[in-house]
Structures are given as C-alpha cells and as structure tokens.
C-alpha cells in the first residue's frame, strides 16, 4: 500500500513553489481526498518508508507474480508513474535501485528489461571462477543423477523447509576445455520443482537457471555464498579424478528468488589449479 500522505505532500510543495495553485475549493477537495487516503493507509497499518521504496516494493511484487517475464520489457517510467499516481522521478529512482541490484536491466534507447539467465552475459552471473590466463574456456555440463529425497536437516535449514520435506537433488559435473573442474550437489524444494526428475533434467539443454525461469517460473535473482578450503573425499576423487586429500575449494551457495525466498542450495567442489575465485566488492 502506497503512503499517500507523502504523495499529497509532494503535490502541495509543487503548488507552493508555483505561487499560483488551482482554485481554493479544488485545493481543499484535493487535501481532503489525500487526507482520507492517508487515514486509510494508516488504518491498514502501513509503516513509513520513502515513496520510491514503496514503488520499488510494488514493482518487485509484479515481478514475483510474473506480470513481466524474464527477457521482457517493463512499462515505461511515464506509464508506471500514471499507473501508481506518483511522479516520474519517483519511479525512476525505484528503477535505478532495482537496476543497481541486477533485478532490472536498462538498455539505452530500448527500455528497461527483466533479466534472464538465458542471455550469454548473464548465464554465469553467479559463477565467479575465473581462468588464470584470461582465456575464456569452453564449458560442458554432465548430469550424474537426479533424485527426489527427504531433506537432510542441513538442507532443510538452508531452504527454510521442514525437516524431511521432499527435495530434489541434482548431481552435476562441470568441465572447462574438457577438464572436469566443478562437482555440484544442487538441492531444490520438491514442492516448487515438481516436474524435475532425471529424465527432464537430462532432456534439458538450457542453463539450469534459464530452465527454472521458463518451466517453473522461478527466477534466481541473488545468492549468498560461503567459501572454505577442504580436502578431497571419495566423491571428489570419483568425479573430479583427483587424489584423496587434494585441496579443493568448497563453495556453498543459497540462491533466492523475489521476496528473499530461498530456492536452491548448491555445494560445489572446485579444482583451482588453473582458476581463481574472483569477486568484485563495491
């Protein structure tokens, strides 16, 4: 719910700055209407936040509901300002924040778009493994297996599920220039990803996140990672072909959709002889 009292103040300041407003009766009518709207907002328990933040929240709700799909453009700032009955500058500030968070993408002369993991430049957005020599390697993906299981306690905690809730586990091997480099254990909420099984995973030839967008309406918009050094155990020995005890990088990632809802827990074991983990801080 928008804080209409703020919007009323914005209009009032504009009228005062102009030194000549509408007839007094219309001003009073407008003030009374804004007052009623503000009272209604307060009655509904709306808490204070800047007006552009409220617009940002409404845009996120529309994105979460799928009104604008990944890869599609959203309405113009002018159209959104009319829709939400706020100034175009307020809408622009909300969109600027969403763009800074990579939740929207501005394209000069074309408009503002919903990001999609189908785009090559977004495909490896969450993968920070970088070749030491700067050469862009050819990547390959091999599905090892896919099972529906009862969630172990650790996985349930990461995905905010009840212990023993149904989850999907995908095991995958990523190779670069033909050399096995990352062994992934990927865990998904079973209730959301009902159609994921070994047959459908193997039949999919898109990046996983792009597949999640198209088939399940789930967009991964941000991720938290925890990184530590570990010694190679049996699974890494088997799938990565390294000796037992070999130092590896373990990357635990929780990926979130809109509303900060966790939709994936991923544990990756990385070989870093030819790569380094690069993350830009700002």
Q: What is the mean pLDDT of residues 66-86?
A: 90
pLDDT of residue 279: 76
pLDDT of residue 120: 58
Domain count, the chain: 2
Higher pLDDT, 63 or 187: 187
pLDDT of residue 51: 92
pLDDT of residue 45: 47
Domain boundary among 58, 79, 113: 113
What are the tens digits of pLDDT across the range 212-244? 998 998 999 889 999 999 999 999 999 999 999
Same domain flag for 40 and 124: no
Same domain flag for 127 and 76: no
Q: Which domain holds residue 91?
A: 4-113
Same domain flag for 77 and 126: no
For residues 10 and 20, give the distance between their C-alpha atoms in angstroms, rounded to a whole number: 16
Same domain flag for 235 and 100: no
In a domain, 282, yes or no: no
Higher pLDDT, 238 or 24: 238
In a domain, 216, yes or no: yes
pLDDT band at 47 (very low <50, low <70, confident <90, very high): low
CATH number at residue 255: 3.40.1410.10
> What is this structure's pTM?
0.73
Domain boundary among 51, 83, 113: 113
Higher pLDDT, 14 or 239: 239
pLDDT band at 119 (very low <50, low <70, confident <90, very high): low
Same domain flag for 72 and 164: no
CATH number at residue 50: 1.10.10.10
Domain boundary among 81, 113, 145: 113
Same domain flag for 139 and 268: yes
pLDDT of residue 1: 42
For residues 264 and 33, give the distance between their C-alpha atoms in angstroms, rounded to a whole number: 46
Are 115 and 105 spatial neighbours (Cβ–Cβ below 8 Å)? yes
């Amino acid at each position: 719910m928008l804080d209409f009292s703020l919007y009323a103040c914005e209009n009032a300041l504009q009228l005062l700055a102009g030194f000549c407003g509408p007839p007094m009766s219309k001003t009073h009518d407008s003030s009374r209407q804004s007052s009623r709207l503000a009272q209604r907002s307060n009655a509904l328990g709306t808490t204070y936040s800047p007006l552009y933040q409220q617009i940002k929240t409404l845009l996120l709700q529309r994105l979460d509901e799928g009104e604008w799909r990944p890869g599609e453009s959203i309405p113009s700032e002018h159209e959104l300002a009319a829709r939400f009955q706020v100034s175009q500058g307020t809408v622009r500030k909300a969109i600027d924040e969403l763009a800074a968070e990579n939740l929207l993408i501005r394209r000069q002369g074309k408009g503002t778009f919903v990001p999609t993991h189908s785009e090559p430049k977004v495909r490896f957005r969450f993968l920070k493994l970088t070749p030491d020599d700067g050469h862009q390697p050819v990547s390959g993906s091999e599905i090892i297996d896919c099972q529906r299981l009862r969630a172990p306690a650790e996985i349930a905690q990461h995905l905010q599920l009840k212990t023993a809730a149904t989850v999907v586990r995908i095991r995958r091997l990523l190779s670069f220039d033909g050399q096995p480099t990352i062994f992934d254990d990927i865990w998904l909420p079973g209730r959301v990803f009902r159609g994921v099984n070994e047959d459908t995973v193997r039949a999919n030839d898109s990046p996983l996140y792009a597949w999640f967008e198209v088939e399940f309406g789930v967009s991964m918009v941000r991720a938290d990672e925890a990184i530590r050094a570990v010694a190679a155990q049996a699974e890494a020995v088997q799938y990565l072909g390294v000796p037992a005890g070999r130092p590896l990088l373990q990357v635990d990632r929780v990926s979130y959709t809109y509303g900060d809802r966790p939709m994936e827990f991923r544990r990756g074991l990385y070989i870093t002889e030819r790569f380094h983990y690069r993350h830009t801080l700002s």
